[in-house]
Amino acid sequence: MNWTVTTFDPWAGLAGGVFIGTAVVLLLFSIGKIAGISGIVAGIFNQKSIELHWRLAFLAGLILSPILYRAFIGEFAVIVQTETLWMVIAGLLVGFGTRLGSGCTSGHGVAGLARLSPRSLVATLIFMVTAVATVSVIRYL
């Protein structure tokens, strides 16, 4: 496997963090909902129709954002360095993990930590330790 190191751009990271934080705050203060992507997507399939419009709008924003970025800013380099099968397996494991952990990194790591949720702190620590361990194992296989 070939590992590529990308140049760190602090301004892009800052802008992304500001946008994510703003979206979390707007959703929480406008309709009282947590911006956890796994919960939003899961809710599309099992919530009342009154909840469906904002969930679909949020998901549409996630899908349209890179399209609009490409249209107005230009290309961005995304290099997939593994086979499609492994990407599908990884996606399924992440989906299973978010259901098992009652949320994902956006719900626990962004919205939960900002609300000083002890459950989100534990979940985020587990996410991070697991991510570091996984990368360490995969890189040395």
Q: Render pLDDT for 40-78 as a digit per residue (tens, 0 to 9).
A: 888 888 767 778 888 999 899 989 988 998 899 888 777
Q: Tokens standing for 108?
A: 């626990």
CA gap 46, 56 in Å, rounded: 13
Structure letter (DSSP) for residue 111: I
d(CA 54, CA 31): 9
Q: Quick one: pLDDT band at residue 118, thresholds 50, 70, 90?
A: very high
For residue 129, what pLDDT is reported? 92
Q: Which of 124, 89, 126, 106 is nearest to 39 (CA)?
A: 106
**3-class SS of residue 10:** helix
pLDDT tier at 6 (50, 70, 90 boundaries)?
low
Q: Where are the alpha helices (DSSP H) in 1-141?
A: 10-31, 37-46, 49-72, 84-100, 113-114, 118-139
Query: Per-residue confidence at 5, pLDDT binned at 50, 70, 90?
Result: low
Q: What is the C-alpha separation between 25 and 85, in angstroms, rounded?
A: 36
